[in-house]
Structure 1
């Protein structure tokens, strides 16, 4: 099995995008929580 077939690339890309999105949302919610009102 080739590791870098299109399905694997798409799966890794989707996983990385999900992690990046979750990280940015987490950072944004943290900034909102700790911002002085």
Structure 2
């Protein structure tokens, strides 16, 4: 486990405390991540 993973998990916990934020973060992450190759 590297520092980036820890920070990412901590960030997710902060925002996933509310479902609306969690779904937004997951949606944005899923939509934008594959777009890097485009």
TM interval, shorter chain, is 0.3 to 0.5
Greater Rg by CA: 1
TM-score normalized by structure 1?
A: 0.47
TM-score normalized by structure 2?
A: 0.46
